[in-house]
Amino acid sequence: MNGATLIMKKRLLFLLVAFSIFILGLLFRVGWLQMVRGAELQEMAFQQQNSNREITPKRGTVYDRNGNKLAVSSSVERVAVNPQDLPKDEKEREYIAEKLALILEMDKEDVLNRMNKNNRYQEIKRHVSKEIGNQVRQFRSENNIKGIYIDEDSKRVYPNNNLSAHVLGFVGYDNQGLDGIERMMDKYLKGVPGKILSEVDARGRQTPFYEEKRIEPQEGLDVVLTIDKDIQYIATRELERAIDDNKVLKGGTVVIMDPRNGDILAMVSKPDFNPNTPRACPPGEDPDMWDGTTNEDIEKLQETVWRNRALVDTYEPGSTFKAVTVAAGLEEGIISLDDHT
C-alpha cells in the first residue's frame, strides 16, 4: 500500500513539474512575443487587416529670381485596381481589361496582366487627365465593378519647355528628382506622401460598410533660383544664333554671372532637351529604333542632350586667365596700376 502510494506521488510530482515547465515556457513565449516582437507583429496584423493607397504629394514649385515659374506640379489622377476585389470570372476580367485599355490607350494584355497580380493594390496607369479619370469612373459605375480605384496623382510640368533644361533637370515616373535642381533639392521639393486606409478581409477584399480613412499629403517646399528667366532666354537665343552662324557641330555653352555677388543669372548648354519628355529621341538618332529606356539609349542621352557642358566639360582658360596674372603681379608689387606696355 505504501509502495503504491509512493509511486502515485512520484507520478503526480512528475506531472506537476512537467505542467509547471509547460506553463513557464508558455509564459516565456507570450512574454517574448509581446516584449520583443510585439511591435513587429502588431504592424504585420495591421498590414493584413488594412490596405494602403498612396496619395502623391505635389512637388514644390521652382521659381526664377523674379518669381517666374520654371517647374510646377499639375493635378492628375492614377488608375489602379485591387485584384482581390475584381470579378473572378475570366470573361468578366477580360471585358474589364478591354474597356480599361480602350479608355487608357494601353495594350489589353498589359492591363490584364496587371489585373491578375496577387496584390491588394496594383497600379494600372499614372498621370491620366481628369477627363480620362471620369471616363473610368463612369465605366465602373455603369457596370457596378468593385476594386477599381481612381486616386489623386501629381505630374511635373515645365511650362517653358527647353528653357533652363540643364539647370532644372527632370523627374522620373515616380516624381523623384533625377537630374539638375530637381535632384539636388529633391528632399525639399518632394513633400510627404499621404495615404488612403481601407480595411480588408483575409483574402484582401475591401470590407463592406468600412469608411476609408484619409491622411493628407504634405506638399513640397518651393525653391527660388538666382536664374533670371529673361536673361536665360536671351542667352539661349544668342547661343543658338552663334552655333548656326559658325556651323558648330558639338554645341556650346553660356554662363552669365553677376560680378557683384557671384549669382548665376543664366546657364545655357546646347544641345538641350525638353524636360517634359527627357527620354525623347535626340537629334541624329533613328526615331523608329529609339526606345529611351535601355541602358544604351540612356548612355546616349547622358553623352548628348542631358550633358550640361557648363559644368562637366573642361576648357582652356585663354585670355580670361590674364586677369589672374595681373592680380598676382599687383599683389607681389612687380607691377603697378601706372605701368603700361
Q: Which CATH number fits domain 52-224: 3.30.360.10, 1.10.238.10, 3.90.1310.10, 3.30.750.24?
A: 3.90.1310.10
Instruction: Write out pLDDT tens, residues 144-203.
Output: 988 899 999 999 999 999 999 999 999 998 899 999 999 999 999 999 998 877 765 555
How is residue 219 written as a grid cell?
Answer: 506638399
Calculate what percentage of the chain has a pLDDT beyond 90: 51
The greatest distance separating any two alpha carbons of the chain, rounded to the nearest whole angstrom, comes to 133
Instruction: Write out pLDDT tens, residues 190-215.
Output: 999 988 777 655 555 556 656 678 88
How high is the pLDDT of residue 201?
Answer: 58
Q: Average pLDDT, whole number, for the chain?
A: 86
Q: What is the 3-state secondary structure (H, E, C) of 212-241?
A: CEEECCECCCCEECCCCHHHHHHHHHHHHH
Whose CA is closest to 81, among 115, 53, 58, 105?
115
> Which ranges of the chain would DSSP assign to H, the alpha helix?
2-35, 38-49, 90-104, 108-115, 130-142, 165-168, 180-184, 186-189, 229-245, 295-303, 309-312, 322-332
In whole angstroms, give the CA distance from residue 276 to residue 156: 8
Instruction: Write out pLDDT tens, residues 69-126.
Output: 999 999 999 999 988 888 888 899 999 999 999 999 999 999 999 999 888 788 999 9
Active site residues: 319
Residue 57 has pLDDT above 70, yes or no: yes
Residue 40 has pLDDT above 70, yes or no: no
For residue 287, say if its preceding peptide bond is cis, omega within 30 degrees of 0: no
